Amino acid sequence: MAMNVTQKLIQSHLLHGKMIAGEEIALRIDQTLCQDATGTLVMLELEAMNVDRVKTELSAQYVDHNLIQEDYKNADDHLFLQSAAERFGVWFSRPGNGVSHPVHMQNFGKPGKTLLGSDSHTCAAGCLGMLAMGAGGLEVAMAMAGHPFNVKMPKIFGVKLRGKLPEWVSAKDVILEMLRRYDVKGGVDHVIEYYGPGVKNLTAMDRHVIANMGAELGATATVFPSDNETRRFLQSQEREQDWTEILPDKGAKYDKRTEIDLSQLEPLIALPSSPGKVVRVREVVGRDLYQAYVGSSANPGYRDFAMAALMVKGQRIHSGVSFDINPASRNELEELANEGLLTDLIHAGARIHQAGCNGCIGMGQAPATGRNSLRTVPRNFPGRSGTKEDSVFLCSPEVATASALKGVITDPRSLEMPYPKVKLPRKRIVNKAMLQAPLPLEKARQVKLVKGPNIASLPELDPLPTDITVPILLKMGDNISTDEIMPAGARVLPYRSNIPKISEFSFDVIDETYYKRAREVNHEGHAVVGGENYGQGSSREHAALAPRYLRLQVVITKSFARIHWQNLVNFGILPLVFSNPADYEKLSIGDVLVMTDVPNTLRKSNEIIATVQGKNSKIPLRHKMSPRQVEILIDGGLINWVKKHPQ
């Protein structure tokens, strides 16, 4: 049978289940990736599971999110992660080495392999012909311990590319075009696979830009073929031996199809505050600008920074604009310096930041209140920048730089300058000095985990009760992100390894009274209600574990984003959807829901009835859990289940 690239990757790693859309399958995981905002919990979970050494082909721990060291907390956690990497046999990327996704692509990505990461943008590695997926940290810890990764078999969304990008249009505009057409739910339950004659006109790093923001479409993964361009990239990183050709078979079929003529694209921009609010840049030119920001995991390539440098060479950034340059890897920062481009940026007035996630995750570079910020980052959810009332637009490096020069949002095609021709350095810098290789097993066993005073053990979670009687503490709308459930940024992320403390920030963006009210009904438990696509965005499992610590027992929505839905199950929170979406209107804050004989009901059926106490109202609900997930939920979460079912 003719197969597409995604089917080939899944088939070669399939351990259990059938490749039928919607059925649960189990996949062998070759590589894992953690970053520091989620990795501390992963390492604590490995410790809780008594793991001696990881069983993957390769696992890597990056320190890229929490780089600000305003006190001891982040620095202590960096030491903890380094000691845990040494103890469990994991590669360690030191603070300042760069963002996990491009650094992993440069050093470890291999066509044909699977990669599971505790970061939703792990899907970026699909640019190399990998099946790369984001997941909650507990799922990643399980994979590191040698367990398969369980996921529902996705449908395959084929995107045929033809033509070549015109001047002033770049890879960012390709993924923004997908978001313009399909919004933030358009890829849910799908792997997006790009194919066709236009693919050869995109570099490996162009493909990274597109694959990275597949997460914003809600996709399970994004996949590109592994072709001669993939080979050229690996050759530039002195890893040509890792290349394998993986192409779709002639006549390969897709569950859904669309086509993009690259030559017909124009500069696009996503308006605040959703990656799906995409319009043409020419529709918003002239709006005031406070900040223009180039970099992050979404635009991490040498080309992106070189384009900005060539555009500003010999000029000055507008006096009213903060032009922030956020290098994505130390190697590329060194290359920019060698080529003189860093000097051009500095001379023009750019602010150069260390290699890391920085402003993308709200760790610095927050814009002024009520002022517009143009960013090449992947997300612009409310408050994610670190400014509560932020106004963040998503765009290409060309649009951000043109606007920085003019002081207002600008279509780069209107500039009176020739289109800069970016040439890659003749020889790429390959510097692994800040990557620490795993220790031999006997030395690793002698390592003691370094735990500072801010690191707390994981809380124990109770099994699911037989009967549930809970009040509704929150009712939310559509597209609630994990940034709103559990904020990021310098105010919150330093407590990521301290669940009791970080729980104080749960739903803080939505309702500052939630924590207090949850504590008042703590012994009873409670529920929250949401709309469509609940839990989109970051994979951070704190968005499940911290509310669970506050006794959140039930989440009822119209639909869930994949990773957060899995995280809820893994921490023993019952995720339910309305059988009739119109019933959403029947529930209010303060209503008390009653469900009886819950474990047996879940085992027998995917339907359950919630009675609204005192209203004589019954709400039919459904779950989409597999029998395995039902047992995990009943046991109170995945850690409890693993203890009952050791390998």
pLDDT (0 to 100) of residue 489: 81
Task: List 514's β-bridge partners, or say none.
Answer: none
| pLDDT more than 90, % of the chain | 87
User: Could you give all domains of the chain from N- to C-terminal order, each with its CATH number?
Assistant: 5-264 (3.30.499.10), 268-414 (3.30.499.10), 468-644 (3.20.19.10)
- Say if strands 24-27 and 149-152 run parallel, antiparallel, or are unpaired: antiparallel
The one-letter code for the residue type at 294 is V
pLDDT, tens digit (0-9, with 9 covering 90-100), for 470-509: 999 999 999 999 999 998 888 888 888 889 999 999 999 9
Calculate mean pLDDT across residues 143-168: 97
Give backbone dihedrals phi and psi of 631, rounded to 5 degrees, phi first.
-65, -35
Average of per-residue pLDDT values in the chain:
95
Pair of tokens at residue 54: 């990881």
Pair of tokens at residue 112: 């044909």
Lowest mean pLDDT among 12-21, 318-327, 385-394, 483-492: 483-492
**Among residues 249, 214, 245, which one has the least CA distance to residue 229?**
245
- Say if strands 526-529 and 552-557 run parallel, antiparallel, or are unpaired: parallel
- Asked if pLDDT for residue 647 goes beyond 70, the answer is no
- Say if strands 351-352 and 322-326 run parallel, antiparallel, or are unpaired: parallel
The one-letter code for the residue type at 536 is Q
Pair of tokens at residue 444: 């690793």
Q: Give the 3-state secondary structure of residue 529.
A: strand
Alpha helices, DSSP H only, in 313-396?
A: 330-338, 341-348
Q: Alpha-carbon distance 172 to 496, whole Å?
A: 31
Cα separations in angstroms, 232 against 109, 203, 240, 606: 14, 9, 8, 49
CB-based contact 165:262 (threshold 8 Å) = yes
pLDDT (0 to 100) of residue 488: 84
- Asked if pLDDT for residue 639 goes beyond 90, the answer is no
pLDDT (0 to 100) of residue 524: 77
Q: Give the 3-state secondary structure of residue 465.
A: coil
Pair of tokens at residue 102: 């491009």
Higher pLDDT, 590 or 72: 590
- Asked if pLDDT for residue 48 goes beyond 90, the answer is no
Calculate mean pLDDT across residues 616-622: 94
Pair of tokens at residue 155: 């449908």
pLDDT (0 to 100) of residue 426: 87
Query: 579: cis peptide before it, omega within 30°?
Result: no
DSSP labels, 208-219: HHHHHGGGGGTB
Calculate mean pLDDT across residues 142-150: 95
pLDDT, tens digit (0-9, with 9 covering 90-100), for 335-393: 999 999 999 999 999 999 999 998 888 888 999 999 999 999 999 998 898 898 899 99
pLDDT (0 to 100) of residue 25: 97
